[in-house]
């Protein structure tokens, strides 16, 4: 399953520009040591005294967090187990909202975070909200740009649910923007992808746009 997802994103030219074979060898051994040492060099160059009581564990803790949490979505072994339910003739949209995620801007390596709205019209299968959240958070746990994150989830959900009738919107606040002071205060970026009937049928598109609007108002 995991490798199929990776291949699917490669085919769509939507995979992250990262060597995925690296990530699986970084958790121990020489590669892990090299990684910790390279962070130590970086921190030393910034002037950190890594022998002090306060900072002596920083390099190890930071690398552990990067590998196991912040960028765990770069290791396809961490892709969630997906089990789908059987659809018993339900053919109206199912809309899931308020799905929170944390990601990292790949340009500045600082967090961006927000909420997603996910909608689909079931074909033969239905998927639980918990699983949708795990899949969204798998792709969020990478160095990302919001547009690609949105597209990755869209393509993978269409594939898993075997239907084009999928829509996803993401609303996120980017710390790089607020820290650089370009847009001080609370500012959000919204991206969305509409597939199948969500794209072709005006009433469904409009329903989804209304959800995006409500969602922006709720955030402000
Ligand atoms: Zn940024």
User: How far, in Å, is the centroid of ligand 1 from the Cα of 172?
Assistant: 12
111 alpha carbon – ligand 1 mean position (Å) = 8
> Domain with 32 in it: what CATH number?
1.10.286
* Cα 114 to averaged position of ligand 1 atoms, centre (Å): 15
Quote the tokens at residue 166: 């999928």
**CATH assignment of the domain containing 163:** 3.30.1130.10
Lookup: tokens for 126: 């239905």
- Summarised one tens digit per residue, pLDDT across range 58-94 is 999 999 999 999 999 999 999 999 999 999 999 999 9
**179 shares a domain with 116:** yes
Alpha carbon of 183 to ligand 1 centroid (Å):
12
12 CA distance to ligand 1 centroid (A)?
Answer: 24
Q: Which candidate, 79, 181, 189, places its Cα nearest to that of 145? A: 189
Q: 24 with 74, same domain? A: yes
Mark whether 72 and 113 lie in a shared domain. Answer: no
Q: What domain range is 51 assigned to? A: 2-78
Exposure b/e, 24-50, CB count within 10 A at least 16 = b: eebeeeeebeebeeebbeebeeeeeee
Q: What is the pLDDT of residues 92-136, one digit of tens each?
A: 999 999 999 999 999 999 999 999 999 999 999 999 999 999 999
Model confidence over 18-28: pLDDT tens digits? 999 888 888 88
Give 168 Cα–ligand 1 centroid separation in angstroms.
22
- In the reported structure, the alpha carbon of residue 46 is separated from the centroid of ligand 1 by a whole-number distance in angstroms of 21
Distance 176 CA to ligand 1 centre (A): 5
Q: How far is the CA of 110 from the centre of ligand 1 (A)?
A: 7
């Amino acid at each position: 399953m995991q490798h199929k997802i990776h291949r699917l994103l490669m085919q769509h030219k939507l995979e992250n520009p990262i060597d995925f074979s690296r990530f699986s060898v970084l958790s121990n051994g020489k590669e892990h040591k090299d990684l910790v040492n390279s962070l130590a060099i970086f921190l030393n160059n910034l002037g950190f005294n890594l022998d002090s009581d306060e900072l002596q564990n920083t390099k190890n803790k930071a690398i552990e967090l990067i590998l196991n949490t912040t960028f765990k979505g770069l290791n396809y072994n961490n892709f969630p187990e997906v089990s789908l339910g059987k659809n018993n003739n339900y053919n109206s949209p199912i809309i899931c909202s308020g799905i929170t995620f944390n990601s990292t801007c790949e340009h500045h390596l600082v967090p961006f975070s927000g909420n997603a709205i996910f909608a689909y019209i079931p074909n033969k299968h239905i998927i639980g909200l918990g699983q949708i959240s795990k899949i969204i958070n798998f792709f969020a746990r990478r160095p990302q740009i919001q547009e690609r994150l949105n597209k990755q989830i869209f393509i993978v959900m269409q594939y898993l649910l075997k239907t084009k009738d999928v829509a996803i919107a993401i609303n996120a606040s980017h710390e790089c923007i607020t820290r650089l002071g370009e847009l001080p205060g609370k500012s959000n970026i919204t991206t969305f992808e509409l597939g199948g009937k969500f794209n072709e049928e005006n009433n469904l598109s409009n329903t989804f746009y209304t959800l995006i609007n409500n969602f922006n108002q709720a955030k402000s």
